[in-house]
Amino acid sequence: MIKSLYFRVALVFIGIVIVSLIAALSVSTTIYTKQIKGSIENEIIAYGGKVIRMLQSSPKGEAEEYMKQAANLSNLNIGIFDTSKQLISENKNIGSVDASKLQSVLNGGVYRGTIQVNESGREEEHLLIGLPFQIDSRSYALFLSPRFQEMIKTFQVVTRTVLIIALVIGSVLILIAARYIVRPLRVLTEGTRKVAAGNFNVTIQSKSKDEVGQLTSSFNDMTKQLNALDQMRSEFVSNVSHEIQSPLMSISGFTKALKSKKLNEEQRMHYLTIIEEESERLSRMGQNLLRLSSLQSEHPAVVPRKFRLDEQLRSTVIASEPQWMAKSLVIELELEEEVMIEADEDLLNQVWTNLLNNAVKFTPKGGRIQLSLQRSGQWAIVRIADSGIGIAEEERKFIFVPFHKTDKSRDTAVKGNGLGLSIVKRIVDLHHGDITVGGALNEGTAMTVKLPLSFEQL
C-alpha cells in the first residue's frame, strides 16, 4: 500500500496542502498584524484626543469615573500620569511605563511604541500610545494600551480553524482526485499483465485526451500490433506445416509405391522423378526460409558496390532462358544503357530472378514479358510486366506476406512456396527503395521497382 502510486500521489498532494496552509497562516498573520497595528495606532490617538477633551471639560472628581467607563467601552487599558510621574488614575494595569518615555510625553511629545505587561503570570508585549494634555495649566500624560494581543489571538484561532477545515476538506478531495488520476494507470497495469501472460486481445477504453489518454491509445495500438503479429506467427507456422507436409506426403506415398514389384521401369522412373522434384521443392523452401530469416535479422548482411544495372538485368534474362523458352514466351527488353547503381549485387540479382520467374510461371504459353529500365533523377526504375493471369485488387496488399498465395486452393500445378515476393520486398526495403504492383486481373501483372542509384546506410 505504501509503495503504491495512489498512496504517494495522495501523500505528496496532502503534504503540499499542509505546507501551503502553514505558509498562508504565517504570511496572513504577519500581514494582518502589520496592517492592523498602524490602523489601531491612528484610532487610539484619535480616541485619546476625545478622552482628553472630555477630561478637560469634566467636573473635578468625575474624571476618573469617566476614564474607567471610556476604557471599558473601548477595550483599552488607560493610565494618567502627572508631572511628578505618579500614576494618578488607571482603569486596569497599564504596566510600568519607562521614565524616559513618560517624560517625553509630559514634555509635549506623542509616544508610539510597546510595553511589557504581566498577563496571568506571563509577560506580553502590548501596544502603547502616549498623549500629552493639560488641565488648569498642569501637564499630564495619557497612556492608552489596547488589548491588541487578544485580537491577534482571536484572529489566529479563527484562521487556524478555517485552515484546518480547508485541510480536511482538501485532503478528502485530494484522495478522491488521486484515485481518479491513478485509476487509468491501474487499468493499464492490469492490461500489461494480461499482455505479458500472452493475451493480446486487450483493449482499454479511455476518453481522456491528456498524457494518460495518449498512453492508453499507444497501449491499444501496441496490443493490436502484437495480436496481428501473433496471428501472423500462427499463420506462418500453419503455412510452413502445410508446405512441408504436402511434399513429405508425396515423397512418402511414392516411396511406398516403389516397394511394389508390379511397377515397370517407366513407372518407377516417373515416381523417382516426382520424389526428386518434391525433395528439391523442400530444399528450395528451406533455403528461402533461411534467406528471409537472414534478411529480417537486426543487422542483415548488405554489401553495396557499384555495378551496371542494365548488364545485371540482361544476365538474369539469359540465365532464365530455359524457363521462358520452354513456354515459348517473348521477352521484350527496353534497357537504358550504362545505368550505374550502388547496391548489393547478389541481393538485387535475387530480386530480378524472383520477379522474372514469377512472370514466367504465371504467363501462359506464347505469352509476352516486358522488362524495362530507365533512369529518373537519382533513381533507377525497373518494370517487369507479363501477359499472365494478373492479380486481383484486393489481393495486392497481401502478396508480400510470407506463404501468401493468390490461389487459395493451393493448386500445385503452379509450383511455389509463397516466399519469393517476401524476399523481394525485404531486399528492396534494405536498399531504401519501393516496389508497387500494377496490371489487372486476367490481363497481366506489372511489378515496378524503384531504387536509389546511391546506397545510403540508415
Domain borders along the chain are 5-155, 211-293, 303-452
Architecture of domain 5-155 in this structure: 2-Layer Sandwich (3.30)
pLDDT number for residue 398: 76
Q: What is 404-416 written as a DSSP string? A: --S-TT--TTS--
End-to-end CA, the chain: 47
The whole-number pLDDT of residue 160 equals 77
Residue 393 DSSP code: G
Taking a C-beta distance cutoff of 8 angstroms, is the pair 136, 119 a contact?
A: no
Side chain identity, residue 116 = Q
Q: Which residue has the higher pLDDT, 300 or 409?
A: 300
- Max mean pLDDT among 118-132, 191-205, 394-408 falls in 191-205
Q: Does the pLDDT value for residue 333 go beyond 80?
A: yes
What band does 450 get if pLDDT is binned at 50, 70 and 90? very high
- Measured from the Cβ of residue 77, the count of other Cβ atoms closer than 10 Å reads 21
Q: What is the pLDDT of residue 268?
A: 84
Q: Which of 135-144, 175-184, 367-376 has the lowest mean pLDDT?
A: 175-184
Q: What are phi and psi of 432, to 5 degrees?
A: 60, 35
**With bands split at pLDDT 50, 70 and 90, how would you rate the model's confidence at 30?**
confident
Percent of the chain with pLDDT over 70: 81
- pLDDT > 90 fraction of the chain, expressed in percent and rounded: 18
pLDDT (mean) for 156-169: 80
Task: From 441, 400, 408, 445, select the one nearest 424 (Cα to Cα).
Answer: 400
User: Greater confidence, 402 or 145?
Assistant: 145
pLDDT surpasses 90 at 179: no
Q: What cell numbers appear for 78 in the block?
A: 488607560
pLDDT beyond 90 at 341: yes
Q: Which helix (H) or strand (E) holds 341?
A: strand 340-343
Between CA 239 and CA 249, with CA 244 as vertex, the angle to 5 degrees is 125
- What is the pLDDT confidence band of residue 211, given thresholds at 50, 70 and 90? confident
- pLDDT higher for 338 or 418? 338
d(CA 252, CA 423): 30
Assess whether pLDDT exceeds 80 at residue 91: no
pLDDT for residue 73? 55
Least confident of 227-236, 334-343, 385-394: 227-236
Enclosing H/E stretch for 79: strand 76-81
Strand ranges in 292-355 using DSSP code E only, listed in sequence order: 305-308, 330-335, 340-343
The CATH H-level (homologous superfamily) assignment of domain 303-452 is Histidine kinase-like ATPase, C-terminal domain (3.30.565.10)
Is the predicted pLDDT of residue 19 greater than 90, yes or no?
A: no
pLDDT at residue 207 tops 90? no
Q: How confident is the model at residue 355 (pLDDT cuts 50, 70, 90)?
A: very high
pLDDT at 449: 95
* Residue 406, all three cell numbers: 493468390
CA distance 339 to 50: 112
Q: Which CATH architecture has domain 211-293?
A: Orthogonal Bundle (1.10)
Find, among 343, 270, 348, the residue nearest to 316 by Cα: 348
Give the model's pLDDT for residue 64.
60
Mean pLDDT of 24-31: 75
**437: β partners:** 447
* Position 458 confidence tier, pLDDT thresholds 50, 70, 90: very low
Share the mean pLDDT of the chain: 80
CB 314 within 8 A of CB 333: yes
